Structure 1
Amino acid sequence: VGSITIDQDLMDLVGLLPLEEVELVNLNNGKRWSTYTIPGERGTGEICPNGGAALLCEPGDLLIIYAYQMCDRAEILEHGHQARVVVADEHNRVEQFLCQSLTPVGRDQVEFNSATVDNPH
C-alpha cells in the first residue's frame, strides 16, 4: 500500500522519521493499514495518503497514525518508556500535545502518566 505524506513539523514533534513504518486507522470507515512516512512541507498541516492507501480514505476522514517499537519487558520495567501524542484539529494543527510515560515504581511495576504539554516546540 502507498506511503503517507505528513507535515515535517508534525513528524518532528512526535519523533517520526522519514520512511518509518506507521499504522493507520480510519475512524470513519474502520479500515486499517500499514505504510511508511514521507515528509511533507513544513507548516502546511499536510496529511496525504498516497498510492493504494488513498483508496482507503476520503478527504476529511479522521485518521489515527501511530508508530511503536518492540521493547523488552524487563528493559521497560528497569528504565521506563516515553511516548508523544498529537491530537490535531480538522486542519491538522496541534490541539493537544501529550507526553505519556511509564515510570518504574518497584519490582515488576510501572506507573502510567499522561501530561499535556502547553508549548511543545
Structure 2
Amino acid sequence: MFREMLKSKIHRATVTESNLNYLGSLTLGYALCEAADILPNEFVHITNINNGDHWVTYVIRDQENPSSVCLNGTAARHFHPGDPVIVMAYGYYSESEIRDGLHPRVVHVDEHNHITQVMAGEKPFSTTFND
C-alpha cells in the first residue's frame, strides 16, 4: 500500500501577483521550485495564512522571476498580493519508505520570497506502525 505524505513545502511565501483572467494554476519562481523539488505541472496544495483558504492546483514554473508566487484563474479571488501562504507538495510512499523515515524538504523564505533556509533531511515527526 502507498500513502500520500508531505514531500516538501515552501513556508510563508508571499503572493506577488494574482491573475484572474488566466486559465488557472500557480506560477512559482524557478528558484522556489528547485529548492522545494517541485516540477512543472505537479499538483500542490496552497493555504492562505490570512484567510484560511485552501486551494489545490498545478504549478507553472516562472523561468524569469526566481521568487514569483502568482495565483491564476479563480484562485485569484482568494489569494491577493501580499498574502502569506504555504505551498505543499505530496508524494506517494511505500510502507517501507515510511518506516525508514520521511524527511520532507522545508523551504523558508523572507518577505520577498528569497530563500533563507532549506531544511532537508530534518525529521519533523516520528511515524510508528506498532505501539
Please say whether Structure 1 and Structure 2 have the same fold, judged by a TM-score greater than 0.5: yes
| TM superposition shift of 1:20 | 0.1
8 Å CA contact 1:7–1:40 kept in 2: the answer is: yes
Provide the rounded CA distance (Å) in 2 between the counterparts of 1:9 and 1:72: 29
Matched residues in 1 for 2:90 and 2:36: separation?
11
Structure 2 unpaired stretches of 5+: 1-22
| Whole-angstrom CA distance in 1 between matches of 2:83 and 2:27 | 15
In 1, Cα distance between equivalents of 2:103 and 2:64: 25
Counterpart check, 1:24 vs 2:46? yes
> Higher RCO, 1 or 2 (CA under 8 Å, sep at least 6)?
2
59, 74, 87: which one aligns with 2:108:
87
Specify which of 53, 65, 86 is matched with residue 87 of structure 2. Answer: 65
Preserved contact between residue 27 and residue 63 of structure 1 (Cα < 8 Å): yes
2:119 and 2:65 map into 1 onto residues whose CA distance is 20
Output the amino acid matched with 1:33. Answer: W
How high is the TM-score relative to the length of structure 2?
Answer: 0.70
The residue correspondences of 1:29-108 to structure 2 (distance < 5 A) are: 29-77=51-99, 79-102=100-123
**Seq. identity, %:** 37
Give structure 1 regions of 4+ aligned residues with deviation exceeding 3 angstroms.
none
Gaps of 5+ in 1: 110-121
Structure 1 counterpart of 2:119, one-letter code: L
Task: Give the root-mean-square deviation of aligned CA atoms.
Answer: 2.1
Question: How many residue pairs end up in the alignment?
Answer: 104
Q: TM-score normalised to the size of structure 1?
A: 0.75
Residue 70 of structure 1 aligns to a residue whose secondary structure is strand
Mark the structure with the bigger radius of gyration. 1
